[in-house]
Amino acid sequence: MTITVPLIQFGFGNVGRAVVERVLRTRDLFEWRYGLHLSYRALCDSRGAIIEMDGIRYGDLQRALAAKAAGESLSEFALGYLHQGLLDIVDIAASEGAIVIDVTATDETVPALLQALSLGCRLVLANKKPLTQRYETFRRLNADGRLRYEATVGAGVPVIATLTENLIASGDVIHRIEGCLSGTLGFLTTGLQAGEGFAALVRRAHELGYTEPDPRDDLGGMDVARKALILARTLGWPLELDQIAVEALFPPELGGGAAADFLTGAAALDEPYRRRVEAAAAAGKTLRYVATLSDGRARVGLEEVPLDSPVGRLQGTDNLIAFHTEVYRPTPLVLQGRGAGAQGTAAGVLADIVALARR
């Protein structure tokens, strides 16, 4: 017997399109293996939406993918319309058992997500911001086990599933978690270790699309702080975002002005970073941007780590997380892999969709 699982997706940018492509590519496999037919009932971007209660047809999804890749909004698409907000979409398309997927990058989805839960829907989030609002919002979204959010922390690396379904569920005691959770900052720190200048690395990361349009959005550390907060709350710690200690990779005087001004001014940081790299190397260590959780507290920042440690051996844009627990000691449980990019994030989202659908 095949069960049809309606999907409602908020967001149709790079990650959103990658999720749709992956759903279409695996449709036959999942029907055969799991008896699941994943069917898009609603798909929306910031302005437009397509809604078809009997399921958007395969060919129409392919045409929507092509139109969006060409820069067209769904409000301009032949089958689309200008929506009045996500609550409107939920009220039209939601039903018990539907899965709402949030692959946006805004906290404005929160009311629609809570409304979807009240109507019996399930949630899959790649969007970190709803989970890093006030702790009470996290509790409400996560109240009854109808939420999965793997892609918010490690993209396709199964960080949350390992923490919740293996470590916490086994009764293990978690003493410390440490991880490199930004492919962008991993690229920078391994480049610094190789002797490259800070400003040139930032400019190259910007040109390669590793950073946000304003690189300070990555270099400020808040993206990693949000990931650390999600991990802390998954552990049951009632922390708020302003309780995470965050070290930015640039001084306050470079925080203002345009992104182009920052890219020019970053040359002043070449020498200070060269000295930090040399000091770490003299001690048999290297620099990594690390999130650390222990004793109910969390911090993110640049740290000197041993060269022979899991974090010290990490290279390039991979993510890595190490769980130091009662069972996994003195050697921690380490997960490493592709932590950035649309395809890695989409893989984590689809795994969550299937996990919820199979319940």
Burial of 270 (C-beta count, 10 Å sphere; 0-12/13-18/19+): middle
Mean pLDDT calculated for residue range 271-283: 96
Q: Supply the angle between the helices 58-69 and 14-34 in degrees, to the nearest 10.
A: 160
Q: What is the pLDDT of residues 156-192, one digit of tens each?
A: 789 999 999 999 999 999 999 999 999 899 999 999 9
319 within 8 A of 340, measured Cβ to Cβ: yes
pLDDT in tens, 124-150: 999 999 999 999 999 999 988 999 999
Per DSSP, the chain holds a count of helices (H) and strands (E) of 14, 13
Element (H, E) at 102: strand 99-102
d(CA 175, CA 326): 7
Q: What's the chain's average pLDDT? A: 94
Predicted pLDDT of residue 117 = 97
Neighbours of 350 (CB within 10 A): 23
**HEC string for 254-288:** HCCCCHHHHHHHHHHHHHHHHHHHHHHHHCCEEEE
CA pair distance 99, 91, nearest whole angstrom: 14
Given this model, what pLDDT does residue 245 score? 96
Q: What is the pLDDT of residue 212?
A: 80
**Model pLDDT, residue 340:** 65
Identify the three-state secondary structure at position 29: helix
> Which pLDDT tens digit goes with each residue over 7-64?
999 999 999 999 999 999 999 999 999 999 999 999 999 999 999 999 999 999 999 9
Q: What are the structural domains of the chain?
A: 3-155+343-357 (3.40.50.720), 167-338 (3.30.360.10)
Closest CA to 213 of 144, 260, 280: 260
- Beta-bridge mates of residue 297: 294
Does residue 159 contact residue 150 with C-beta atoms inside 8 Å? Answer: yes
What is the per-residue burial (b if ≥16 Cβ within 10 Å, else e) of 48-70? Answer: bbbbbeebbeeebbeebbebbee
pLDDT at 359 over 90: no
Measure the CA–CA gap between 293 and 300, rounded to whole angstroms: 9
The two tokens of residue 111 are: 């009311």
- Tokens of residue 274, six digits: 């060269």
Do residues 198 and 266 touch, judged by C-beta distance below 8 A?
yes
Percent of the chain residues topping a pLDDT of 70: 99
Instruction: Write out the DSSP string of 178-243.
Output: EEE--HHHHHHHHHHHTT--HHHHHHHHHHTT-S-SSTHHHHTSHHHHHHHHHHHHHTT----GGG
262 vs 260: CA distance, rounded Å: 5
* Residues classed as catalytic: 227
> pTM for this one?
0.94
- Determine the Cα angle at 39 with ends 35 and 44, to 5°: 150
